[in-house]
Each structure stands twice: as structure tokens, then as C-alpha cells.
Amino acid sequence: MRDGEDNAENRAARFSAGFRRARNLALSLPGKLLSLSVVFVLVAEVLIFFPSASNFRTEWLRDRVDAAYLAALAAESAGDMMPGEDMVRDILAGAEAVSVARITDGSNELVLGGTLRDAKLITADVTQEGFFERLIATCHTFVAPEGRYVRIIAEPRARADTGELISVIVPEAGLRAELYEYSRNIIWLSLFIAAVTAGLLYLVILFILVRPIRRLARAMTRFQKDPTDPGRTVVASTRSDEIGDAEAALAAMQSEVRSAFAQRERLAALGGAVARINHDLRNVFASAQLVSDRLAMSKDERVAAMGARLVRAVDRGIRLCQETLDYGKTQERAPELQKVGLRNAIDDAAGDAFAATGVADWVNEIDEALVVSADPDHLHRIFVNLVRNSVQAMEKSEVSCLTVNATKGDDRVTVTLIDTGPGVPGRVQETLFQPFGVSGSKSGSGLGLSIARELARSMGGDVVLAQTGEDGTTFEVRLGVG
């Protein structure tokens, strides 16, 4: 009993494994191409079948007319000897007809046979049927009821171009039976053609398209596991088609990524060295700060002035070291967007910036009711950096004034910050938003605007330099509507 259960389980396992393989093949790219090829060929065969079946029906009707015409000639050749009933039956059976009549001036002149009484009769005028009429009549033949007859009106091929017409009545069962036989042959032929065509297409596409794509996929997978290994770079083939272009592009991309990884490793090593240097510099600056504080408290005015300058220089050095370390180790958290009152948020940020950098005239023209969608901490840091940057730019200006206003669009709020500084020099504009770029202020680290733009873009906005000149500089901060 146990052996029987094991055999059943093995059969079920084999069936399940076979089913999975067949399913994977069907869902693979070659399987999909094979299925689509079969479907397309069958669709084409269906489109061809109905016109060909219509032609088959027309030829069958003409053959019956020709056979009936020859039967009529045989009857007429008897002359005055009227054929007997058995002879007429044999002649009509040879023509597969019930009756044959000659059409003269629109009237039927019976030659052989007689008329039908209760049987259902339809007319097929071959001389008048168009393309669509033949298609419709063919479809009707497939579903014709039993015992129906067809009255065929046509011109015998032996009397072509004479205008002579004859009328032949035949059972429709023979036409329907031969149409079914013809359809079965066409179906088997179509399936054979579909299988052969699909197989050939499958082989061609497999070698021309699928296998190169698989090779590219494997190359990308291998490269993903170890991008730094030069041996995992794909070797572009000499193909001049899209596959060749993809191979060349992938090889170029892999080289660039490998170079980027190498550069990242060098930057990581450089960052570690800078961190150690910064640590030592901070110790040096701490000692220098003690000395500079003592000098700044000297009773000698000249010494005190030099000490004050030294204090400011040491403070800038310490701040630069701290900002460099913070930028190198900080990974900004994802923003948590919420509705924030814009006017009060910018006032708070400006207050913190003024406390750290210096005071300027502050004009806030933003409507108190204006609300934006932003992360409060990110928003605060953006405007602290912008205000501090503007105050530093206005250090030598006769008038230090900062004006902020905002305009609301359909899906954006644009905040404009205008200072009265000397403007941003052209050489500075090129690297204004790059980390450690050239700064317009001697005390700047070159990180403030870079951080502000990074934070704004993380919230779906941006920070841009809108305008600059001798009369001042305008920055725009774009935020979402709350």
C-alpha cells in the first residue's frame, strides 16, 4: 500500500515539475514569440479561408451546371426518341441534378426532370453574385438545414460568351458535405503551415534576437555581483544592428560605472584623510583660540585689535572644519511633508541666521495665511543657509537689507529672497550650487547653497539664482502648495 502511495506521489511530482517547465517555457520570451507566431499565422489563414471557400463553392456550382448541360445535350441528341423515365433518372444522377432547364427570355424551358413540391429551394445566380454575396452564401451553406435544394443559374463553360443560361436544381447536401471536407483539409494544412512557420520564426528569432539578449542579461547580472571586476565587462560584438548598439552602450556604461567605483574608493580614502586632518586642525585651532582670546583682552589697543582679528580667523577655521565634517558624514533623511505656515517659518530661520552671522534689515512681505507643503526642519535649514549666505554677501555694502515675498501658482509657491549685496561674480555663478565651490564671501565654506538646493529638491522643489547684479541678488525657492 505504501509503495502505491509513493508511486502516486512521484507521478504527481513529475507532473508538477513538467507543468512548471511548460509554464516557464510558455512565459519566456521564446515561448511568447512562438505562441504569437502560431496565432498570427492562424489569423492569416482564417482571413484567407473564407474567400477560398467562397471560390470553392462557386466552382462546385459551375461544375454542376457544366455536368447538367452535358446531360441536357445527351437528352436532346436522342431526337424524336423521347428518353424513358429510367434514362432521365440516370442522366440526372450523373449530373447530380434534380432538373435542368434552359432560360430563354427570362422564362424556364424544362429539358430534364421536373419541379419540386414541398422542398425548400434557394437560388444561386452565379452571373449576378458579387464578392460579399458569395461570402455570405458560403457561410449560409455551412449552417443549411437538411433537405434544402439550390437552383443554380449560370452560363455553361462550353457556351461561354454566348449569353446562354441554364437553370439547374441540385441538393445542397452535396455542396455542404464537400465544403466541410474542404474546410477540414484547409484546417489541417493551416495547422501544418502555422507549426512550420512558427518553428522557423522561433529558430530565427532565437539565434538573432533572444540569445544575444540573454547574453546581455547574463552579463548585466555578472557585472551587478562585482562591478569592480574588469573581467565582467561585456565584450561588444561586431553587429551593426540595435543589439550591437546595446552591447556597445552596455560596455561603455560598465566602464563608466567601474571608473565611478574607483573614484568613490579614492574619495573615501581622501575623506578619511581629510577627517583625520580636520581633527588635528581643530586641536590646533583650539590652542590658537586660547592664545587669540588672551591677545584680544590685552590692554594694548594694537595687540587687542590683532587679537580680535585672530579670533575671527580662528573661528572661521573651526567652523569650516566642522561644516566639512558634517557634510561628509551626513545623509539627509527623507522629508516628512506637512502643511507649514511660510511667513513664521522664514522669520524663525532668519532669526537664527542673524544670530550666527550678523544682522540686516529684514522685510517679510509674505501673507500670514500662505501655507506650503514642506518638511519643517528642511525648510528651516534652507532659509538659514540662504539668509546667512546673503548676510555674508552684504558685509561691505552700505545698505544691508533682505526682502522676502512669495507668489502662489496652481501647484507651486515661489519664494523670492532679495538682498542689496554687490551681486554674484561670473566666476562664482558657475559653481554656486556645487559643494565647496568658489564662494563670493571669504568666510563662506561653499556648502550653504549646495545643502539648500539638495534639501529643496528632496521635497520636490528647487533653489535657483533668479537674478544678480550690482544692485543685489535674487534667489528663488520653489515649494509645493500646502
Instruction: Tell me the pLDDT of the chain (482 aa) as tens digits.
Output: 455 555 666 666 676 666 676 666 666 666 777 777 778 877 888 888 888 999 999 998 888 888 887 777 766 665 555 555 555 566 666 667 777 877 766 666 666 776 666 778 888 888 888 889 988 988 988 888 888 888 888 888 877 666 778 888 888 888 899 999 998 998 888 888 878 877 787 788 777 777 787 788 888 888 778 777 777 777 777 777 777 778 778 788 878 887 777 777 776 666 666 666 666 666 666 666 666 666 667 777 776 676 666 666 666 666 666 666 665 555 566 888 999 999 999 998 888 888 777 788 999 999 999 999 999 888 988 998 899 888 888 887 888 899 999 999 888 999 999 999 888 888 888 778 877 655 555 555 567 788 888 889 999 999 999 999 888 999 999 998 87
Sheet holding 121-125, edge to edge: 107-113, 99-104, 165-171, 149-154, 121-125
Predicted pLDDT at 330: 55
At 477, phi and psi to the nearest 5? Answer: -115, 120
**Cα angle value 454/457/462 (rounded, 5°):** 100
What is the per-residue DSSP string for 106-168?
TEEEEEEE---SSS-EEEEETTT--HHHHHHHHHHHHTPPTT-EEEEEE--GGGTTTT-EEEE
Predicted pLDDT at 226: 79
Burial class (CB in 10 A: 0-12, 13-18, 19+), 236: middle
Pairing of strands 401-408, 462-469: unpaired
Long-range contacts of 341-344 (CB under 8 A, 24+ apart): 341/368, 341/370, 341/371, 342/366, 342/370, 342/371, 342/372, 342/406, 342/413, 342/415, 342/479, 343/367, 343/368, 343/370, 344/368
Tell whether pTM > 0.75. no
Cα-atom radius of gyration of the chain, to the nearest Å?
Answer: 47
Pairing of strands 401-408, 361-364: parallel
Say how far apart CA 153 and CA 102 lie, in whole Å. Answer: 10
Give the domain 333-481 fold.
Heat Shock Protein 90 (3.30.565)
Task: Please list the residues that pair with 457 across neighbouring strands.
Answer: none
Say how far apart CA 407 and CA 414 lie, in whole Å. Answer: 5
CA 44, 46, 47, 52 torsion: positive or negative? Answer: positive
With a CB cutoff of 8 Å and minimum separation 6, the contacts of 448 are 385, 386, 388, 389
Predicted pLDDT at 477: 94
- Residue type at 203? L
Q: Both ends of the chain: CA-CA distance in Å?
A: 73
Count of C-beta atoms within a 10 Å radius of residue 459: 21
**DSSP 8-state assignment for residue 415:** E
Say how far apart CA 481 and CA 365 lie, in whole Å. Answer: 18
**DSSP 8-state assignment for residue 231:** G
With a CB cutoff of 8 Å and minimum separation 6, the contacts of 373 are 337, 338, 339, 340, 459, 479, 480, 481, 482
E-strand ranges in 359-425 read 361-364, 371-374, 401-408, 412-419
Task: Please list the residues that pair with 374 across neighbouring strands.
Answer: 338
CA 317, 318, 324, 325 torsion: positive or negative? Answer: positive
In the chain, the largest separation of any two C-alpha atoms, in whole Å, equals 161
At 290, phi and psi to the nearest 5? Answer: -60, -45
Predicted pLDDT at 473: 92
